[in-house]
Amino acid sequence: MCNLHVRDVQNRYAPALLFLAAGQTKVDCGRSVPGPTPCHIEARLMSAATVTTVPPDPIGAATPVEFAMRLRALMTARRRSLDSVARRSRDAGTPISRATVYNLITAAGSPRRETLVSFLRGCGVPPREQIRWLTTFDLVYRPR
């Protein structure tokens, strides 16, 4: 079996890597061939065997990657696409771009609170639930 380190594929497969278990450093593509096979790794990363169940709830997220996984789970639970979140946030009066939505769910960069509020509005999260997300956001992204 070939094993690749996560750092070797993280740039190309960043969205899929969000589904890896915390602390996992290798990806097993499940094939007995010499050398890396990225196309098989991508398929394996997205398979049910590797995807962990993440609740669409902020409680328990301790790192930016975990928080992003939960944002992605929220988006999925509410049946929203990148485009629909961007469109609905614009309709709610707090527009964010599709690229910004993508950056939030892949933990790219350090987002602003206003961006998270726009995302949550785009997902249709009521204000009472938004407080829990913002509280966890403050804990995860607090200055160290």
Indicate the pTM of the whole model.
Answer: 0.64
Q: So where are the chain's domains?
A: 3-45, 64-140
pLDDT at residue 71, rounded to an integer: 96
Q: If 0-12 CB within 10 Å is exposed, 13-18 middle and 19+ buried, where does residue 44 land? A: middle
How far apart, in whole angstroms, are the C-alpha atoms of residue 137 and residue 59?
10
| DSSP code of residue 81 | -
What topology is assigned to 64-140 in CATH?
434 Repressor (Amino-terminal Domain) (1.10.260)
Say if residues 46 and 16 touch (Cβ distance below 8 Å). Answer: yes
Q: What is the pLDDT along the chain (144 residues), one digit of tens a residue?
A: 344 444 444 444 444 444 444 444 444 444 444 444 444 444 444 444 445 688 888 998 999 999 999 999 999 999 999 999 999 999 999 999 999 999 999 999 899 999 999 999 999 999 999 999 999 999 999 876
**How far is Cα of residue 77 from the mean position of the Cα atoms in its chain?**
13
How far apart, in whole angstroms, are the C-alpha atoms of residue 81 and residue 110?
21
